[in-house]
Amino acid sequence: MTQDRSHDDPAAASGQASRIVAEALTIAANAAAQMNEAHPPRAGLDQEMREVKDGILRMGSLVEEAIRAAMAALVAHDAAAALAVIVADTRINEMQRDISGMITRAIATQSPVARDLRFLLSLDHVGYELERMGDHAASVAKQVRKLAPEPPLKKYVDLPAMGDLAATLVGAILRALVDVDVDAARSVASRDDDIDLLYHRTFDEVVALMRADPDNVERGTRILFAAHYIERIGDRVTNIAEDVVFLASGEIEDLNP
Check: CB of residue 192 under 8 Å from CB of residue 256. yes
Cα separation values, 165 from 2, 22, 136, 158, 188, Å: 90, 67, 15, 11, 11
Q: What is the largest CA-CA distance in the chain?
A: 117
Between helix 114-147 and helix 217-249 the angle, nearest 10°, is 170
Q: What is the pLDDT of residue 110?
A: 87
Q: What is the pLDDT of residue 75?
A: 96
pLDDT tens track, the chain, 257 positions: 444 444 455 445 555 555 654 554 455 445 444 544 544 556 788 899 999 999 999 999 999 999 999 999 999 999 999 999 999 999 999 999 999 999 999 999 888 888 899 999 999 999 999 999 999 999 999 999 999 999 999 999 999 999 999 999 999 999 999 999 999 999 999 999 999 999 999 999 999 999 999 999 999 999 999 999 999 999 999 999 999 999 998 888 999 87
List, in order of start, the domains of the chain with CATH numbers. Answer: 42-249 (1.20.58.220)
The three-point CA angle 240-190-227 to 5° equals 80
What whole-number distance in Å separates Cα of residue 104 and Cα of residue 109? 9
Q: What is the pLDDT of residue 113?
A: 86
What whole-number distance in Å separates Cα of residue 36 and Cα of residue 70? 50
CB within 8 Å of 188: residues ≥ 6 apart: 169, 172, 173, 176, 237, 238, 241
What whole-number distance in Å separates Cα of residue 8 and Cα of residue 60? 76
Burial class (CB in 10 A: 0-12, 13-18, 19+), 212: exposed
Q: What is the pLDDT of residue 12?
A: 52
Q: Mean of the per-residue pLDDT values for the chain?
A: 88
Instruction: Supply the DSSP symbol for 151.
Output: P
